[in-house]
Amino acid sequence: MKGYPLEVSHLTVAYQKKPVLRSVSFQIPEGKLIGVLGPNGAGKSTLLKAVLGLIPALDGEVRIYDRPYREQRKIIGYVPQRESVDWDFPTNALDVVMMGRYGHLGWFRRPGTKERQIAMECLAKVGMADFAGRQISQLSGGQQQRVFLARALAQNAQLYFMDEPFSGVDATTEKAIINLLHELKEQGKTVLVVHHDLSTVKEYFDHVLLLNGELVAAGPTEETFTPANLHSTYGGRIAMLADFATVPSGTV
């Protein structure tokens, strides 16, 4: 496939009253793990949702592998925030993962043994094979997050968007997510992750996007995740956290 996995130009988004994203433009390279960083209310999730067409943009263009988003839906995987759904919904873990295959099934066709098999494999990859038949409200927060990841895997996409997959999860889940991210990367897939724990950025991501209503900086982590850039993203509040950027990467 030619072109950048994701190319955003002049994207502007506003909620009822105030603008949330102002003229954001960037491209991301293929086969990398990219962290989207910024303070609360910086528009990180908004960026993801606008790119996915879940909320309307006032202005700007989003291209995926040099084509409009609409034509590329099948190669996109999405992991929404865990709070976005009702976990009391009558369904089990395996069923949720199978939902990832619906896009490939098309209208009217029902999921069959093949889909079930794929879903089981994806569950196994996130270490959740034993919980396939478990009602989703009976899972812990981390397990729910892993089910969502397995569902995204089942989509078998080229480009993944994940909205704060690390928030509020246990250590096992965090490790499972990291392993998964690296596996996806090895397969040449591109993953965009909204993230807010600055202490792990250098460890997890090849590239970062620093966002604060506008795009502050974008590029390889080494060059971009600098105290100066962090200061202009987070303002003075983050003086202490700026230390993360100065820690030599070897020690992490």
CB of 245 to another protein, least distance (A): 31
Task: Give the pair of three-digit tokens for residue 191.
Answer: 């993953």
CB of 176 to another protein, least distance (A): 20
> CB-wise, 109 or 182, nearer to another protein?
109
CB of 26 to another protein, least distance (A): 18
CB of 68 to another protein, least distance (A): 12
> CB-wise, 162 or 198, nearer to another protein?
162
What distance in Å separates the CA atoms of residue 181 and residue 163, rounded to the nearest whole number?
A: 14
CB of 165 to another protein, least distance (A): 14
> CB-wise, 92 or 200, nearer to another protein?
92
Q: What are phi and psi of 225, to 5 degrees?
A: -80, 65
Task: Give the pair of three-digit tokens for residue 31.
Answer: 């086969």
The footprint of another protein (CB under 8 A) covers 12, 14, 16-19, 22-23, 49, 52-54, 58-59, 70, 73-74, 76, 78, 80, 84-86, 88-92, 95-96, 99, 102-103, 105, 107-108, 110-111, 135, 151, 155, 161
> CB-wise, 120 or 154, nearer to another protein?
154
> CB-wise, 102 or 127, nearer to another protein?
102
What distance in Å separates the CA atoms of residue 24 and residue 89, rounded to the nearest whole number?
A: 37
> CB-wise, 32 or 73, nearer to another protein?
73
> CB-wise, 91 or 226, nearer to another protein?
91
Number of neighbouring beta carbons within 10 Å of residue 115: 21
CB of 7 to another protein, least distance (A): 18
- Residues 213, 43 contacting (CB under 8 angstroms): yes
CB of 158 to another protein, least distance (A): 14
